[in-house]
A and B are shown apart, each in its own frame.
Chain A
Amino acid sequence: MPNVVEPITAADGTPLKKKLARALFRSKLRAAGLVLPLFAFIIATFVVPIFALMLQGVHNDTFYTYMPRTAEVLNDWDGESLPGELVFATLAAELAKGKKERTVGKVATRVNRQYSGARSTFTKTARKAVKMEAPFKEAILKADKKWKRVEFWQAIKLTSETWTPAFYGAALDYELKLNEGFERKVEKERIHVKLFWRTLVISAVVMGCCLLLGYPVAYLLATLPLKTSNLLMILVLLPFWTSLLVRTTAWIAILQSQGVVNDILVWVGVTSDDSRFSLIYNMTGTVVAMTHILLPFMVLPLYSVMKTIPPAYVRAARSLGATPTLAFLRIYLPQTVPGIGAGGLLVFILAIGYYITPALVGGQSGVLISNMIAFHMKSSLNWSLAAALGGILLAGVLLLYWAYDRVVGIDNVKLG
């Protein structure tokens, strides 16, 4: 006969399990209620904008919004020879409408990104389109000679497609061609891939410099008596609280060829007045300034980890015969790995997105991909390309994060 286990019941007869679940549910609800504002805030100001922007990288409906019928009739065009009268007539009608509603400029700017010079062709033809009569093909061809080029029509057809991989292609130095697919740009016009690599390398170098400089400082902070270490801590934090621009400008004054460092070197006799070192407006300047600015992000996590390491461990290793080097490498260093991981990750990810400092001190060899993104957001207004570049950067960071988790383990990171 099987054993029937009676569920334990509470005083009022309901099963205890159920009662507990109900009690927990209530407190869970309360906890969720407390987190909800932050959660909503993050969704509204962080997650939604990022996804919406990512979408911009593959979705651009400018052409379709303002010239829907032209986009539709172009759908049936084979892309091999000049389109027929129907396409020209639709185009003329929509150009005239665009002229009246002042939307033709938006379309023109959009097509101009695909085909240089399209802007004036569109605005010029739109001006004339108001008075055009059939046959429209003849009239439009007469308005501007670009309409006679099949490549021009191919570019228009490409921009008329709402969903397009063209921007991601451009972000990797590939050009999208109708009926042919992606084609790599010629050597001297490739730029983005180069900048992505440069960004990764400079960020890694900055991270390395921060670690080399920050580790001893953090060690000192963690081991010195409280009075001295507090003073040191203020010295670490003081620049942290100073404006980024001020610190960057200070580096210009220090590093430029007529600056403090070069003056001292000339005075000491290391170099002559005519051959001063170029320490700024190049990669060196970017690395130096960024290392200084990001140093606290390395020191603070390292310090918080080192603070918790009992000095007895190293002492024990020494008393068992380990040399100072061995004791450091085998006992102390492994215990600080969570701090190194946290600091390294923080510095690297911040460095990847830096653009003000490289813009000011980077010259031509110290410019990063973020400068390009800022340019397309701010100046050229090509937000789709900016989104594609940003999307690739984000994917790269997530990939590195994943690799890091695989190698070191994200649970090992300690931020404080």
Chain B
Amino acid sequence: MSLNYKTIVAAATFAGLLSSNAYAGDLTVVSWGGAYTKSQVEGYHKPWMAKTGKSIISEDYTGGLAEIKAQVESGNVSWDVVDLELSDAIRGCDEGLFEVIDHSSLPPAPDGTPATEDFIDGSLSSECAVPNIVWSSIYVYDSSKVRNWNAPKTMADFFNTEAFPGKRGMRKNPRVTLEFALIADGVPTSEVYETLGTEEGLARAFAKLDTIKDDVIWWEAGAQPPQLLADGEVIFTTAWNGRVFNAVAAEDKSFEMVWDGQIYDLDLYAIVKGTKNLENALDFVKFATATEQLAAQASWISYGPARKSSAPLIGTYHDNPDIQMLDHMPTSPAALTNALANDFMFWADNFDEINEKFNAWLAG
């Protein structure tokens, strides 16, 4: 990269440089905060610290690659391990922001199945990252509020403003939103990305969104949808299933999830290129994504472990033995009856263009 580029980055991380040198632990792990980070601290961090006697600094971020890019380009890396969405993991790997992790070096399942076969199909597609959980985008309603309609059951119900009048919350992002629109419009889940890849299919998705455009409140942060729903601001909202589960299990909300047409996705650990703690980082990633740790984390939040061998070990909610965690996971059989796997390759190719159209559609 050119000199001027480095200067910006150097200036941008000036503050980071000052703070990062102030205190250096053995490992800095960055994740999304809230109930999710809590589950990782309990499931991965504490056991790793107990095993190795080393310390972990846990930091929060809001996703995206900007901070990581700034750190790598300026050569001042203060984050070691980062929890990412798959699309960011792939994009970051392309941009050379992450270390390559040899997937064959990951620990095998307890029964000896090699890691490359133990992780759920297609989840090891980025050579820079190791998956830890399966999370899902679903929609949710509040069953404690009295409404003059029957409970919604399908994705089509989300878009049906006649039977279900009121505001709906949706993420301000073309990803998932457009797929939901097509599923609601009757496209079988197996053909969603094929349809979305054509000019007419994209127009069809936007046309479906047009029907509810005036009724949508757009959210951006994962904490917003449960709040919107609790405030009665919306009757339905799309959300991430773990956030909803947390509101139900920890805050006693009576939110009901509709799993029809759910879109599931992965979160992964990646190691930032140029980290000074590469050895610790590698050791931590291998440790955290082992069968037992993934299962341990699953008792804190309802995200599914990325290893098949973890499923039999999943127990109950750490705080309430009546809640069987498996029932609330995106990977439970009931949740998978009409589900779609997020096609990250499609989005890696088309996100820029479709997002531009989506923003123009929003502003129009």
Contact = CB atoms under 8 A, between A and B. Distances in A.
Interface of A: 44-45, 48-49, 51-53, 55-56, 59, 61, 65, 102-103, 105-106, 108-109, 112-113, 116-120, 123, 188-191, 194-195, 256-259, 281, 359-360, 363-364, 367, 372, 377-382
A105 B167 CA distance: 41
A123 B167 CA distance: 42
A416 B4 CA distance: 37
B364 interface: yes
Nearest to A364: B362
A209 B57 CA distance: 45
A191 B94 contact: no
A379 B350 CA distance: 14
8 contacts: A55-B4, A56-B5, A109-B91, A112-B349, A257-B233, A259-B231, A381-B91, A381-B95
Given A102-B96, A119-B348, A281 B217 contact: yes
A48 B364 CA distance: 37
Given A106-B95, A116-B350, A52 B233 contact: no
B218 A281 contact: yes
A48 B11 contact: yes
A45 B15 CA distance: 10
Interface stretch (B62-70, B114-122, B187-195): B62-70
B8 interface: yes
Contact of A380 (B167, B350, B352): B352
A55 B172 CA distance: 30
B8 A188 contact: no
B210 to A, nearest CB: 11
Given A61-B2, A65-B1, A106 B350 contact: no
Contact of A190 (B217, B360, B362): B360
Contacts of B352: 112-113, 116, 380, 382
Nearest to A367: B363
B294 to A, nearest CB: 28
Contacts of A359: 220
Contacts of B217: 281, 363
B59 interface: no
A117 B4 contact: no
Contact of A256 (B69, B231, B353): B231
Give the bracket for the number of chain B residues in contact with chain A.
35 or more
Interface of B: 1-2, 4-5, 7-8, 11-12, 14, 63-66, 69, 91, 93-96, 100, 167, 172, 216-218, 220, 231-233, 345, 348-357, 359-364
Nearest to B63: A379
A48 B350 CA distance: 34
A191 B5 contact: no
Contact of B5 (A52, A120, A360, A381): A52
Contacts of A360: 220
Nearest to A54: B4
Contacts of B64: 378-379
B66 A378 contact: yes
A256 B233 contact: yes
B363 A194 contact: yes
B96 A49 contact: no
B3 to A, nearest CB: 9
B94 A45 contact: no
B65 to A, nearest CB: 6
Given A190-B360, A195-B363, A52 B349 contact: no
B179 to A, nearest CB: 17
Given A61-B2, A102-B96, A258-B231, A191 B359 contact: yes
Nearest to A65: B1
Contacts of B218: 281, 363-364
B45 to A, nearest CB: 26
A377 B2 contact: no
A98 to B, nearest CB: 11
Contact of B11 (A49, A123, A256): A49
Contacts of A367: 362-363
Nearest to B350: A116
Contact of A258 (B1, B69, B232, B361): B232
Contact of B93 (A105, A118, A194, A259): A105
A191 B360 CA distance: 5
Contacts of B11: 44-45, 48-49, 52
A262 to B, nearest CB: 10
Given A49-B7, A109-B95, 6 more contacts: A116-B349, A191-B360, A194-B363, A257-B233, A364-B172, A379-B66
Contact of B364 (A103, A109, A188, A372): A188
A52 B359 contact: no
A109 B360 CA distance: 22
Contacts of A258: 231-233
A189 B356 contact: yes
B237 to A, nearest CB: 13
State the 4 A-B residue pairs at the shortest beta-carbon distance, nearest first: A105-B94, A116-B353, A52-B4, A191-B360
B8 A49 contact: yes
A364 to B, nearest CB: 5
Nearest to A55: B4
B235 to A, nearest CB: 11
B66 to A, nearest CB: 4
Nearest to B353: A116
Contact of B8 (A56, A189, A259): A56
A189 B357 contact: yes
B363 A364 contact: yes
A23 B232 CA distance: 75
